[in-house]
Amino acid sequence: MAIVAMLVGTGVACAAEQEANAEAAVPVRAKVTLRDRSVLTGTPQFSELKLMTGSGEFQIPLPLVSTINFIKGQVKVSFFNKDVLTGTLEGSAFKVETSLGSVDFAYSQIESVAFFSQDGKAAPAATGHGLLLHVPFAADNENLDAFNAQMETLNAQVVEGPDGGNAMLLDSEDAKVAIHLPFSPYRMNEGTIELWVKLPDPHRTFGHSLGQPWFFNVLLHDAYPGGHLCMGFISNNGHAMGGLVGHMIGIFAGTHSFGTVATVAETGLLGDTPDGWHHYALIWKKDGMDFPETRGKTLLVTVDGKIVTTSTMTPGTIPPDVEHDPDVGTRLVVRDHNSDCTRPIVVSDLKIWNYAKQPEPVKN
């Protein structure tokens, strides 16, 4: 196994070196999000990362890196080609040239770093390389310029999130978060939306027709009401499904039949911590997954990296205006009008990817 790991590491390093030669001229900017909710954007004063992992040491050219997440003394490095490496970085700080001058960011201060193109208009991922959006929910005025997106909040509170980071609590009936995307997930043949969610009131009985609340819903418009791209707990999603359900325009998956569970806790999906932090993902591929264990499935819903429900349904017809109007289907809302907003929800670290990510175990 050690020999295999070394061979894999060598292969990644070689591939990284080859891609670096092709992308060496790509200028890189960085958006640094600190644990105190500060956000600064600038030009990194380094050209590569030196990462120590269980498989060996890697020299990673910066143009290959999508994001770095700092978690309990380690880092998770995500690449634009969908690879991920976890380990520890050499040194103790990043030096970045910002509008305030040269700043040394200590690793212990950093929550995440996102890399994007020099013009600042779009992340390299938005050109089709992987990560399309990352919203830490670390501040009510979250700067999403790196992804050419915008966030609006109403009566949201910043609270402690998973892994010592920040999160956003919505606990009043009019509290809401809306994110304006530069793309429409409805047009994507495949994709993944993942986030961390905490439900402080998991023993409360479901309402009859509203989510508890929807973790998110990508709205269309008044001519197409309801939840067409959404995920969350509900009594009945309108298709005789309950529990934890996911939708992707005509494709539906649910963990329970309508009427078989009455609360989030009763679903049994969250174990002994129904009011704790859990990782959720909605994964779709309209023409069928390629993963061996879910080959041919069109929709997956996961909790803490474990697949809890799937679907083999084919997608419904996309409304013509979604295809032709670039502004339709680009607004992602937490606690929309289809949600029971009398129930609190805490959200953190939402990400949208432009491919179906293979589920992996998530350490809760």
Here the CATH number for the domain that contains residue 327 is: 2.60.120.200
Q: Is residue 364 part of a domain?
A: no
Query: DSSP of 141-174, one letter per residue?
Result: T---GGGT-EEEEES-EEEE-GGG-EEEEE-STT
Please check whether residues 147 and 96 belong to one and the same domain.
Answer: no
Please check whether residues 110 and 163 belong to one and the same domain.
Answer: no
Q: Is residue 41 part of a domain?
A: yes
> In the chain, how many domains are there?
2
Q: Is residue 125 part of a domain?
A: no
pLDDT at 124: 43
Please check whether residues 156 and 259 belong to one and the same domain.
Answer: yes
Name the β-bridge partners of 245: 232, 254
Residues of the domain holding 43: 2-117
Q: Is residue 155 part of a domain?
A: yes
Residues, the chain, total?
Answer: 364
Q: How confident is the model at residue 55 (pLDDT cuts 50, 70, 90)?
A: confident
**% residues pLDDT > 70 (the chain):** 87
Provide φ and ψ at 154, rounded to 5°.
-135, 115
Please check whether residues 176 and 276 belong to one and the same domain.
Answer: yes
pLDDT at 273 exceeding the cut of 70: yes
pLDDT at 9 exceeding the cut of 50: no
Please check whether residues 113 and 178 belong to one and the same domain.
Answer: no
Taking the C-alpha atoms of residue 36 and residue 250, their distance in angstroms, rounded to an integer, is 41
Q: Is residue 124 part of a domain?
A: no
pLDDT at 356: 93
Please check whether residues 144 and 265 belong to one and the same domain.
Answer: yes
**What confidence tens digit (pLDDT) does each residue in 297-353 have?**
999 999 999 999 999 999 887 777 776 777 888 999 998 888 888 899 999 999 999
Q: Is residue 123 part of a domain?
A: no
Q: Which of 118-122, 146-150, 202-206, 343-347 has the lowest mean pLDDT?
A: 118-122
Kindly state the average pLDDT of the residues 123-143: 71
Q: What is the pTM of this model?
A: 0.68
What's the first-to-final CA gap in the chain, in angstroms? 26
pLDDT at 177 exceeding the cut of 80: yes
> 300 and 172 in contact (C-beta within 8 Å)?
no
Q: Examine the fold and report which residue of 59, 84, 117 is the final residue of a domain before the chain moves on.
A: 117
Please check whether residues 178 and 65 belong to one and the same domain.
Answer: no
Q: Examine the fold and report which residue of 117, 141, 171 is the final residue of a domain before the chain moves on.
A: 117
Please check whether residues 294 and 198 belong to one and the same domain.
Answer: yes
Q: Is residue 122 part of a domain?
A: no
Please check whether residues 176 and 44 belong to one and the same domain.
Answer: no
